[in-house]
Amino acid sequence: MTSIRHNDGVLDAARDCVLAYGVRRTTLTDVARRAGVSRMTIYRRWPDVRTLVADLMTREWVRVVEELDMSDPVRAVVEGVRGLRSHPLWRKIVEADPELLLPYLLDRRGASHEAILEVLERAVGDAGRARAVLLVAQSFLLSAPTMLGPVTMDELDGELTALLEAYLG
């Protein structure tokens, strides 16, 4: 999936800035400087940091999903949750700027959701099931850390596997 605003150099620079400063402290000027382009180049494509970070998140999350072997959807979903959970950008956003995720949890699907749903629909053969699987995976991605003790993350991932195996057969 390629955004009309796709530019790997700028997105790489944005990733570096977010990892270094967090989203709130990153400016388009910082990104332009790090990317070696003018501020106007950035502003022509992205009106603000949040839009740029949204494109960055889409690129990064879709990369994780594209690396999965969807021939076994259960294993792929669990590996995808683990991959996102350990992704440096995901970790930084969850730790420093979690409010950035709220619109995608409460109000609307993002481009990442659409790309992941497309992959899941092909893998499970049904739009409704794909959405249910994404909702379950999303809850394990976001909320599993709150459920640790006395169980471990690996044990919770085992429960996710059991849930998905039962649901998907």
User: What's the whole-number average pLDDT of the chain?
Assistant: 95
Residue pLDDT, tens place only, 81-127: 999 999 999 999 999 999 999 999 999 999 999 999 999 999 999 99
Other CB atoms within a 10 A radius of the CB of residue 154 amount to 8
pTM of the model: 0.91
